[in-house]
Amino acid sequence: MNLNSVLIIQNLFNGLMVGGLYALIAVGYTMVYGILRLINFAHGDIMTMGIYFAFYAVVLMKMPFFLGVIFSIFATAILGFLVDRIAYKPLRNAPRISALITAIGMSFFIESFAVVFFGSNYKSFLKTLGSNSSIIFKTYKIGKIIIPQITLYVILITFFTLLILFYIVYKTKIGMAMRAISADIPTTSLMGINVDLVIGFTFALGSALAAIAGVMWALRYPNFYPYTGFNPGLKAFIAAVFGGIGSLQGAVLGGFLLGLIEIMLITLFPSVMQYKDAFAFLILILILTIKPSGLLGKRSIVKV
């Protein structure tokens, strides 16, 4: 095997990992959009909070790492629920632009909150992991191919998490209500269902996934600070639009494709490294021009 093909295979794994993380975040955007037609711009920052929750659970509350992550998943879910309750629920019947502006405001608020309470300096899980920090550095070697253990873990956990998500959405009662709400909110309430609770659950579910993605992000790229969620949040948003916003399958497909395209471009054309982020936006512009509804999105008819 020559060096190039080794590099390509290694980076395929990298692409899968980054793409999976985009997918985990993108499903949060797409679920909220599917229900409220709202882009929750605070979603990337909710992911950042997920990282901090896990970090402080381990550092301050002395939880074992695994337990800290579980704590973070629940805490972030509650945060997502509260963001909806406090910021978006009062605006359910307001013009959509008001909710959108509120979402941007919520994003700034969470970022500033993190700066004030957690500090603007970089933090890292490395020290907190102590003897367990080997999970970050250990690698598997197959022939000439070297793959970090953490990359494989991230890919596996991502797949497993997405499976659970699809199970919840397509096989459970609350998932059925979520799908019903995405089609018709008033009629769902006619079924005796408290729509606001289901919407709150959707926010909680999306935020829990963002927390999982966030912790894995912070393990793979070990420094984080209050704006860490901004970039992956933006990319995941692009992934959701790429795949067809409002479509769960679309968000997953868009996430993986965006991750793979990004990493592969850098692998094949290392000189364009600095323009990596620009490619994501190029994809966004292209998809909006060629197929605005995204790869798997249905063309929506706006009723006038």
Partner 1 sequence: MQNENILEIKDLHVYYGSIHAVKGINVIVPRGKIITLIGANGAGKTTTLSCIAGLVKSKRGEIIFNGNDITNKPSHIVNLAGIALVPEGRRIFPNLTVYENLMMGAYKRKDKEKIKQDLEWVFSLFPRLKERISQLGGTLSGGEQQMLAISRALMSKPQLIMMDEPSLGLAPVLVDEVFDVIKKINSEGTTVLLVEQNAVGALSISDFGYVLETGRIVLEGPGEELLKNEEVKKAYLGI
Minimum distance from CB of 189 to partner 1 (Å)?
4
Q: Identify the sign of the CA torsion 66, 71, 77, 79.
A: negative
Q: Provide the 8-state DSSP code for 41.
A: T
Instruction: Output the smallest distance, CB 174 to partner 1, in A.
Output: 10
Q: Which is nearer to partner 1, 11 or 189 (by Cβ)?
A: 189
b/e per residue 61-90 (b: at least 16 CB within 10 A): eebebeebbebbbebbbbbbbebbeebbee
Nearer to partner 1, 4 or 300 (CB): 300
Given the rule CB under 8 A, which residues bind partner 1? 173, 176-177, 179-180, 182-184, 186-195
Minimum gap (Å) between residue 199 Cβ and partner 1: 13
Report the nearest approach of partner 1 to the CB of residue 191 (Å).
Answer: 5
Q: Which is nearer to partner 1, 95 or 192 (CB)?
A: 192
Which three-class secondary structure state does DSSP give residue 297? coil
Q: Is 285 exposed, middle or buried (0-12, 13-18, 19+ CB in 10 A)?
A: exposed
What is the per-residue DSSP string for 223-260? EE-TTTTHHHHHHHHHHHHHH-TT-HHHHHHHHHHHHH
Rounded to a whole number of angstroms, the minimum distance from the CB of residue 221 to partner 1 is 37
Cα-based distances in Å from 206 to 174, 240, 248: 14, 13, 11
Is 251 or 280 the residue whose CB approaches partner 1 more closely? 251
Pick 58 or 251: Cβ nearer partner 1: 251
